[in-house]
Amino acid sequence: MPDTWPIGAPIEDLDTPAVILDIDLCQGNIDRMADFFSGRPCKLRPHFKNHKCTTLMRRQLQREAVGVTCAKVGEAEVLVAAGFDDILIANQVVGGLKVERLLRLLDAATVRVAVDSEANCRQLSELASAAGKTLGCLVEVEIGMKRCGVLPDEPCLEMARLIDSLPGLRFDGLQGFEGHTVLLEDDEERIAATRQSMELLTGTGRHIEQHGLPVAIISGGGTGTYDVSGVLEGMDEIQAGTYPTMDWRYQSVRPEFEIALSVLATCISSAEPSRAVLDVGVKGVGAEFGPPIVRERPDIEIGFFKSEEHGFLDVHGPALSVGEKVQLIPSHVCTTCNLYREIYVYQDGRVIDVWPIEGSGRLR
């Protein structure tokens, strides 16, 4: 962690590149999402993969969330070490080393995993029963994304019965992710596609219960579809991730959330008034959905953003001077945060805190 010297300093004084977070905008996003779920049967289980910062996740859980979602055992280890005690790894945990690490977490927290294969279930069962532990499992249902998952209805029932029969495992329910619908630009198209997909998930839950197995949890969803999946009968949890920080790609479909996080960068070269070069490239800004946008400078375009350490700008207004700083809004905030080790938190333009990103780089 850096020294505490930045506290109280203007954000423009920070060394760059740096991830900076407007705490007022971030808290507004947290409150907006929490208010939507307040009083509803479906609850919020925010996804750690967005920012990987336990301090920020703690703020999210202070607003009625039921627990945390994460993607990897390494992220779950960070969360348990920070005191979080209800965690869903919304992914398959495969391999003896990973499973052994997973099972050690059960000494301090409730940790569940997603499964979609007999081989994985049998490995989890063997190691959990040998360790004298019981692991909760959610069958992942393939609802159209064509990533992981078991086909709906009867194949999922067979998987649930297998889990129920194996020592060391407990069938806790289902999960599904409508990732193929969350970024659809047309509102009506996104709503219709989301309902169609998520009704495969909830319908599978009803099918399993009709055959005598209780389905305690049906979990899924994301920031792009929270207000569709979150009101479907049968849904228990929404795994929204991006909403506290946001990026320009997600805001294009969910404009009610503010962009709270950006990357502060410095102009290091400006040979001509119409162009400039920044001290950050793809190694410092997630750009899977497109290049970043310069905050509050619509007259500046990212001319080229494929270099490792440089960002190339086309300037159509006042020239940038060498040493001048700008804020870049990523197209993908999740992969941006994974590249850094701390977030500089600011209010009214001044740094008020520095939060570690403890989960960055925890890919295993």
Q: What local confidence, expressed as pLDDT, does residue 255 receive?
A: 97
* 187-210 helix and 154-165 helix, angle to the nearest 10 degrees: 50
**220 pLDDT higher than 90:** yes
pLDDT digits (tens, 9 = 90+) for 201-218: 999 999 999 999 999 999
Residues in CB range of 194: below 8 A, 6 or more apart: 178, 181, 182, 225, 228, 229
Confidence of residue 64 (pLDDT cuts 50, 70, 90): confident
**361 pLDDT higher than 70:** yes
**3 pLDDT higher than 70:** no
Nearest-CA neighbor of 3 among 363, 360, 351? Answer: 351
**303 pLDDT higher than 70:** yes
pLDDT digits (tens, 9 = 90+) for 333-344: 999 999 999 999
**102 pLDDT higher than 70:** yes
**At the top level of CATH, which class does the domain 23-243 belong to?**
alpha beta
Confidence of residue 5 (pLDDT cuts 50, 70, 90): confident
List b or e across 170-202, with b for residues whose CB sees 16 or more CB atoms inside 10 angstroms.
ebbbbbbbbbebbbbeeeeebeebbbebbbbbb
pLDDT digits (tens, 9 = 90+) for 152-165: 999 999 999 999 99
Domains in the chain: boundaries: 11-19+256-356, 23-243
Average pLDDT over residues 96-106: 98
CATH superfamily of 11-19+256-356: D-serine dehydratase-like domain (2.40.37.20)
Nearest-CA neighbor of 339 among 51, 4, 78, 26? Answer: 51
Torsion angle in degrees (nearest 10) through CA of 361, 223, 289, 17? -50
Average pLDDT over residues 215-227: 97
**4 pLDDT higher than 70:** no
Q: What does pLDDT average to over the chain? A: 97
Cα separation of 56 and 49, whole Å? 12
